[in-house]
Amino acid sequence: MPDAALLSALEARILGCLIEKEITLPDYYPLTLNALTAACNQTTNRDPIMNLEESTVLRTVEGMKTRGWAFQVTIVGGRVNKFRHNLRAKFPGMEKPAISLLCVLLLRGEQTLGELRLRTERLQPFADLESVETELMKLITYSEGPVVACLPAGPGRRVVQYLQLLTGEPSSLAPQEEIRAATSAPVPLSADDQAWKQRMEMEIEILKAQLTRLKVKLGVED
């Protein structure tokens, strides 16, 4: 996405909250400023936890309005203005399963497949990990450009994780030249990674010994 279209961390929190409440609390959506602030400051289903003032949320959502990420809604007979997101106009064709995954990534940061399946249960149930992966691929290959990125497993990251790109590419998604430079030299392992490596090496040796005994028992020669 162009830099001018990127969201700040606070804007991402507001967008995620508007998406979440539209799905989970449709009777109270669009949200009042008070409800939106409370949603941003929730201590559950949020990472990191924030403590925002209404004035900060209002100032931020006003900026999102000028860039088409959110709208203010005036309801006839209503005493206060309310706010709603404009995600579907920003990303035409994006459907609820993919939107639900994006919502969790906006609210909770990097997630594994298993975490995403568990944490989207309130928004959109997924039958299995394969169905989660299918929807993530739609976000990764979105026609107007990737909305989600995949972080491969490696030093410091045991399993594959996914993250949203609406706030920009993280430093861990380095340009190809930086990736080649980084992989051309050995990377020091942390204490946890070193312990894990040693456990894996031990298990491999145990498996080799078991295989050797099995071959002897069966009379199989190498």
Domain count, the chain: 2
Average pLDDT of span 36-47: 97
Per mean pLDDT, which of 5-19, 65-79, 140-154, 185-199 is the most reliable? 5-19
197 lies in the same domain as 132: no
Structure tokens at 192: 């946890």
Burial class (CB in 10 A: 0-12, 13-18, 19+), 57: buried
Residue at a domain's end among 148, 164, 180? 164
End-to-end CA distance of the chain: 56
Assess if residue 147 is contained within a domain.
yes
Q: Examine the domain organization and report whether 25 and 121 are in the same domain.
A: yes
Same domain as 36, residue 126: yes
* Residue 181 resides in a domain: no
pLDDT in tens, 160-174: 999 999 999 876 554
Specify the higher pLDDT residue, 53 or 207: 53
Residue 24 pLDDT > 60: yes
Whether the per-residue pLDDT at 55 is higher than 90: the answer is yes
* Of 94 and 219, more confident: 94
Q: Which of 61, 53, 74 is nearest to 18 (CA)?
A: 61
- For residues 112 and 203, membership in a common domain is answered with no
Range of the domain at 217: 188-222
Average pLDDT score over residue span 82-102: 97
Are 72 and 86 in contact by the 8 Å Cβ rule? The answer is: no
Give yes or no: residues 17 and 93 share one domain: yes
Pick the more confident residue, 145 or 192: 145
Task: Report the CATH number at residue 71.
Answer: 1.10.10.10
Domain contains 169: no
- Of the candidates 114, 101, 89, the one whose C-alpha atom is nearest the C-alpha of residue 165 is 101
CA dihedral 84, 91, 114, 195 (to 10 degrees): -110
Distance CA 116, CA 126 (A): 9
Q: Are residues 18 and 80 in the same domain?
A: yes
Please indicate, yes or no, whether residues 144 and 219 belong to a single structural domain of this protein.
no
For 120, the 3-state DSSP assignment is coil
Instruction: Tell me: do 97 and 201 sit in the same domain.
Output: no
Q: Give helix 9-24 / helix 54-66 axis angle, nearest 10°.
A: 90
| Structural domain contains residue 178 | no
Residue 173 domain-assigned?
no
For residue 27, the model assigns a pLDDT of 96
Residue 197 forms part of a structural domain:
yes
Global pTM value: 0.75
Residue 71 inside a domain? The answer is: yes
Round to whole Å and give the CA distance between 88 and 115.
25
Task: Tell whether the model's pLDDT for residue 62 goes beyond 90.
Answer: yes
- Same domain for 209 and 122, yes or no, is no
For residues 111 and 219, membership in a common domain is answered with no
Q: Tens digits of per-residue pLDDT, 163-206?
A: 999 999 876 554 433 333 333 344 455 555 555 665 565 557 56
Cα 66 from Cα 73, distance rounded (Å): 14
Rounded Cα distance, 111 and 119, in Å: 9
CA distances from 54 to 34, 58, 68, 149 (A): 7, 6, 21, 32
Query: In the numeric block, which tokens belong to residue 139?
Result: 């976000």
**Cβ(89)–Cβ(145) below 8 Å:** no
In a domain, 19, yes or no: yes
Half-sphere exposure of 44 (CA within 13 A, CB side): 3
148 and 209, same structural domain? no
Q: 194 or 125: whose pLDDT is higher?
A: 125
How far is the C-alpha of 17 from the C-alpha of 38, rounded, in Å? 10
> Same domain for 118 and 217?
no
